[in-house]
Amino acid sequence: MERDEILLDCEERMEKAASFLADQLKGLRTGRATPGLVDSIRVDYYGSPTPLKQLANISVPEPQQIVIRPFDAQAVGEIVKAIQSSDVGLAPNNDGKLIRLNIPALSTERRKQLASRVKEFAEEARVSIRNIRRDANKHADQGQKSKLFSEDERDDIKDEVQKLTKKYEASVNAATAAKEKDIMDE
- CB atoms closer than 10 angstroms to residue 114: 19
pLDDT class for 130, splitting at 50, 70, 90? very high
Q: Specify whether the CB–CB gap between 172 and 18 falls below 8 A.
A: yes
The helix-helix angle for 108-145 and 151-184 (nearest 10°) equals: 170
Question: For the chain, which domains are there?
Answer: 3-26+107-184 (1.10.132.20), 35-102 (3.30.1360.40)
Break the chain down into helix, strand, coil percent, rounded to 5: 60, 15, 25
Q: How far apart are CA 50 and CA 56, in angstroms?
A: 11
Percent of the chain with pLDDT over 70: 98
Taking the model in full, what pTM does it have? 0.72
> Is 30 a residue whose pLDDT tops 90?
no
> Is 186 a residue whose pLDDT tops 70?
no
pLDDT score, position 96: 84
> Is 90 a residue whose pLDDT tops 70?
yes
pLDDT (tens digit, 9 = 90+) per residue, 131-142? 999 999 999 999
pLDDT (tens digit, 9 = 90+) per residue, 144-179? 999 888 999 999 999 999 999 999 999 999 999 999
Q: How far apart are CA 186 and CA 184, in angstroms?
A: 6
